[in-house]
Structure 1
Amino acid sequence: MSAPITAYKPCESLRPFVEVFWEGSFNANALEPLSMRVIPSGCVELIIHLNDLHCELQNAYGWSQSPEYMIIGLFTRPYEVHFNNLVKVFSMRFKPEGIYNIFGIPASVFNARYEDMSLVLGSEFRDFSHRLKEEKSVAGMINRAQSYLMKNLMRNNIELNYVNRAAELIRQTKGLSIEELSGYVFISQRQLERGFKEKVGITPKHYLRIMRLNEAQRLLNDHHPMNLTSIAYQCGYFDQAHFIRDFRSITGEVPSIFIKGRSRFIANSGLAH
């Protein structure tokens, strides 16, 4: 991650649903407006702005200031974000299938767009967010967030199902075919694709592609010099041309340009502390 972001693992009970908590500051010097490209992470972000200055995102009517408490759905293409001043945020990054277990709302509702989460969840969420912003430390914010999420998880009492298991297998292996995946979760391929699209908003195959490219970004950051053949193979590709084509569809750039200009991107933050 090029931007100054620090990620933290959730407690054990929340790990099937939450990828990480993270906090960060963007455009810290605020000498001039900053534009960055967000690379799809395969997750859903619930962002709480910690100061009065928010980022700007594009909608059907042009550029506008983002909501104070914002959910960003699962994107499959890169998108731009503007930081005209110093912007401080705390975020809960959900596994796309996991947000349904927490809030009873499928990730598909928010696909490829952002919403004011206070309008979606109401006064209880607004009260929680206000109190989180009053915390004096990141540890305090994480503890409050975990208590709130656990309360929702227990209240909704939605059990893990084949979509949760399939998504976790995709993240762990990145090399399974959809036919193999349906066998592992004991469900027909057609039913798996239907259930996955209902909960996550995209097909298992499309989600697998995003996960492979997330892994490719991590490997590109770790490999010096860059070996595209090796990276493509480790990410489940047997054709370098196919790998480069998919990489460009997710990031907007070929790998060599992506690495050279990595400071312009907000990409997957990697391992949590």
Structure 2
Amino acid sequence: MILKDFLPAPDVQSYVQLFRIVHLEFSKGEAIPIKAYPPRPEQCLAFYPYDKETVQYAGSNKIVHHLPVVLYGQFTQVTNRLIGHQFLVFQIVFYPGALYTLTGIPSIELVNEYLDGSIFFGNQVHEVNEQLYEAKNYETMISIGNQFIRKLISTIKKPILPIDWACAQLLNKTSQLTIDQIAKQACYSTRQLERKFKERTGVNPKLFMRIIRFDNAFRQKNSNPAMDWLRIAIECDYHDYQHLARDYKDFTNLTPNQFHLIEENAPERKFGLNEGFYKNE
């Protein structure tokens, strides 16, 4: 069983942050817990070559299911996901703005949406899904993902602009630039930056930064369960615990402890896996 991020090929890395593979198999008749999927700074194309998943929006009664290939944009709320007994998802996680560059689709149309991928990419995604089903190992899956992205790059819809550099800067953990400084270096006014950023990510820069920081705290707790929340808050650039707790309340409608009690029962935990910092360099 596996839950891991893999780097794409060098010629693909300008568009794709990572390929994520989650492969879990449960015994027939075994009860599978629901996965509470929190917001994360991602736009993603997900392939389900085996069992599909059922998605329920935590804030409503909306349910989506039986989709073999899914495109989803930036989420700002929790979705509860129920998987099957033979579950494998191959996710292509794009850089902010890359999906807009490759497809021309304004990302504002994808916020909090879990959509049929073939609507945007045609039947080729079903061919890729079939290839993933036939793949003998994870290395072959990575190769299939690289080839698919290369095809998209060959038919790119929008030129890469300074705004795309600006979007990526917010994901750069070593960057200390403020939004105003990023706008200045990209030769945009702050208002221009916000408008173009929203077109490429679906949300404004400040909300995107909040989601990045929340996601870092979420993964920090999973990677270091004994670490106290105040230390996590400080290491993840919160002013204090209360500031972190407000983000958890806004994004999950729960306190940090309440949400992580649910997270501790996620399906991957049965195999000793968790959504921490697991990127494969």
- TM-score (normalised: structure 2): 0.84
Contact 2:35 2:263 in 1 (8 A): no
- What residue number does 1:58 align with? 56
Larger deviation: 93-102 or 185-194? 93-102
1:174-225 CA distances to partner (integer Å, 9 max, x unpaired)?
A: 7644223322322110000000111111000000001111111232234464
Amino acid at match of 1:28: F
Contact 2:96 2:164 in 1 (8 A): no
- Aligned-partner Cα distance in 1 for 2:124–2:226: 50
Gaps of 5+ in 2: 269-273
- What residue number does 1:117 align with? 117
Larger deviation: 64-73 or 219-228? 219-228
The question of 1:41 aligning with 2:2 is answered no
Contact 1:133 1:141 in 2 (8 A): no
Larger deviation: 197-206 or 247-256? 247-256
TM-fit CA distance, 1:112: 0.4
- What residue number does 2:182 align with? 181
Larger deviation: 62-71 or 217-226? 217-226
Aligned residues: 270
- What residue number does 1:28 align with? 26
User: Per the alignment, in what secondary structure is the counterpart of residue 50 of structure 1?
Assistant: coil
- Aligned-partner Cα distance in 2 for 1:62–1:247: 22
Contact 1:42 1:95 in 2 (8 A): no
Quote the sequence identity (%).
Answer: 22
Amino acid at match of 2:131: R
RMSD after superposition: 2.6
- Aligned-partner Cα distance in 2 for 1:144–1:4: 18
- TM-score (normalised: structure 1): 0.86
Contact 1:97 1:106 in 2 (8 A): no
Contact 1:72 1:114 in 2 (8 A): yes
- Aligned-partner Cα distance in 1 for 2:43–2:121: 16
The question of 1:17 aligning with 2:18 is answered no
Gaps of 5+ in 1: none
- What residue number does 1:272 align with? 279
1:53-103 CA distances to partner (integer Å, 9 max, x unpaired)?
A: 311123787534231111122101111111253322222122232112333
Contact 2:76 2:251 in 1 (8 A): yes
CA, structure 1 residues 90+7, in 2 after alignment: closer, same or farther (shift >3 Å)?
Answer: same
Contact 1:46 1:91 in 2 (8 A): yes
Larger deviation: 109-118 or 200-209? 109-118
